[in-house]
Amino acid sequence: MPTRIPPLIPRDVLLGSPKRWQPTISPDGAKLAYLAPDEREILQIWVRTLGKDDDRCVSNATRSVPFYGWRSYGWRWDSKSIFYFPDTEGDENWHVHLIDLEKNKVRDLTPWQGVRCYPDITMTSPARPDEMLAPLNVRDRAQMDLWRIDLKTGATVLEIENPGDVAWWVADDEMVVRCSFGWTPQGGSEIRVRADTRAAWRTLVRTQPEEEVMPLGFSKDGKELFLRSSVGRDTICVVAIDIESGREREIATMDGFDAEEVMIHPARRELDAVAFAPARRKWIVTNAALRADFEALAQIEDGDLSVVSRDLADSKWLVAFTAPHRPVRYHVWHRESKSSEFLFSDRPELETYELAEVRPIKYRARDGLEIHGFLTVPGGVEPRNIPLVLNPHGGPWTRNYWEFDAEIQLVANRGYAVLQPNFRGSTGYGLKHLRAGYRQFGLAMQDDLSDAVKWAVDEKIADPDRVAIFGGSFGGYAALAGAAFTPDLFKCAINLNGAASVLSMIKNAPPFAGIRAISNSRIGNPDEPADNERLVKGSPLFAADKIKIPLLIVLGGNDPRGRQGEYEQIVAAIEKNGGSAIYVVYPDEGHILARPANNQDFMSRVERFLAELLGGRCEPMNGERIAGSSAIVKEIGLVR
């Protein structure tokens, strides 16, 4: 039967910056903000009036405004200014910058050198629109204290000094800090509460290491605290707990799967809906007043729905529809008229191309554990005995979703099936699945990846002689581990900023409250002989002499986790043993490749590497590096 191979999608089309991305509506419902590239291809914040074409760039970032799974920017409640969180060359020291939209002025509200703010745990409230609470390590670089920032004057005052075991705090509607969250020395967690600033802190919830709990915020009256909790359960559900009595009421749960996205309106402080992701996203609408909205929205597009932004009156929603085979599409939902207004897709140039299908899959690991994941199938071919790229996700305490991924689509467009398993230790599938990954770096977690390849071969999808492993962060570690521990399974491996030594990964982790306790519990304690032996066994660095397959190894020079010396040891071992490797350093990058030219350069090397070793298609690179890239390259041996 003849096949029809889709045209090669140009790399700059697939990997170019989104044209407009991550829109939010102003609290007064009059304006729209979004991320878009400037003339230098740096993602900046843009603003326009809804219903008008008066778009203007309002930020002055020298590096793309980051979006690493948390919010990259936010509106001040008066709708007259926007805050965002740039770092310097990927050093992860994020600062709070405030953009005055009327004066076209940008201020750094946390200008201390070497100080870090975590954007996703800053707090604001419409009841106190001129204030922000932000975790900052001003007093002690190893401790995140809580500071109160006056958004009018820029004055910053220490609110709470960290006692040493608090990861972050939660304020009520009036911006009174009444909840703290931290990890215990045993690797569990503890939530403490207080009635007001004069009252003593007391423990409300204390968990065992195998349990999960996460505060989401207070109710409007401050009497209840919303939580994501697995206490007494296998899966994480959403509950409300009475501050005084400790009584708990369940709000949303789903058998076999964890609660993920949660909608809480900032003014009403009501918990409106909870999302779960068994494969496609499913919503449980807990506010009866919104059920008609969700039912109507489900008819607009065949994609997974998210409400990304709402005005304070709750009359306008910005809604995103995501699907892996097309760009993200955004609509304005007018609640009163129950009507939808299409805004834009984030990558309109991709609308004319045929993208690859992504299928949910599941298989059994060798010990019987059920593993869910996704298989991306290249267009125009029957997925039978074709080259396969195994793509373990980062984290590892995260997961893959049914969503668009430009890098996965590029690899599939070049002729490869891509398999993304949510191996043990991934989130979303309950505590049994999460705990099965504890202390299993390079061991059972790696076995799950090997078993994914076996599944694809047994299903006649993958050619066993043409399998690559490619990942970033933890996925990059897994690629190195695959090259070192199971070299006969893979034809080649690609690692972006993955740890070579689990021991140094723990040592170089940020020194903030609880992180070491979590590492000791979930990964292992280097100070315990049995754990230390296990961590050495799971570290590719100490098995570098076993690597016999071609390796593409890539590093951001400013990655604060610091791996350059270890990478050079691995490359030296490969060279000594007569192997082949390509070693690339981007000196102006951190853990994430944020500069478009560097990302294009990296992926051009990925597709050329795969084409030479697995036989897929490749768009030529046109030179030693992509124009504007900072790549420094060392090649060992002949990669073929």
How many CB atoms lie under 10 A from the CB of residue 633? 13
Catalytic residue among 591, 601, 604, 629: 591
Q: Are 121 and 71 a contacting pair, CB within 8 Å? A: no
Catalytic residue among 125, 473, 580, 629: 473
Q: What single-letter amino acid sits at 166?
A: V
Size of the chain, expressed as the number of residues it contains: 640
**3-class DSSP assignment, residue 610:** helix
**3-class DSSP assignment, residue 496:** strand
How many CB atoms lie under 10 A from the CB of residue 135? 26
Task: Compute the distance between CA of residue 105 and CA of residue 129 in angstroms, rounded to an integer.
Answer: 19
| 591 in catalytic set | yes
| 580 in catalytic set | no
| 180 in catalytic set | no
Q: Which residues pair with 632 in a beta bridge?
A: 585
Enumerate residues 6+ apart whose C-beta is below 8 A from 108.
Answer: 95, 96, 97
Task: Compute the distance between CA of residue 450 and CA of residue 444 in angstroms, rounded to an integer.
Answer: 10
Q: Which long-range contacts (CB under 8 A, 24 or more apart) does 248-257 make?
A: 251/226, 251/286, 252/284, 252/286, 254/278, 254/282, 254/284, 256/429, 256/430, 257/428, 257/429, 257/430
The crossing angle, in degrees rounded to 10, of helices 444-458 and 474-485 is 80
Going across the sheet that includes 43-49, the strands are: 21-25, 31-37, 43-49, 56-57
Enumerate residues 6+ apart whose C-beta is below 8 A from 546.
Answer: 484, 485, 487
What Cα–Cα distance (Å) separates residue 371 from each residue in 360, 471, 554? 11, 18, 29
Catalytic residue among 87, 447, 559, 601: 559
Residues with catalytic annotation?
Answer: 473, 559, 591
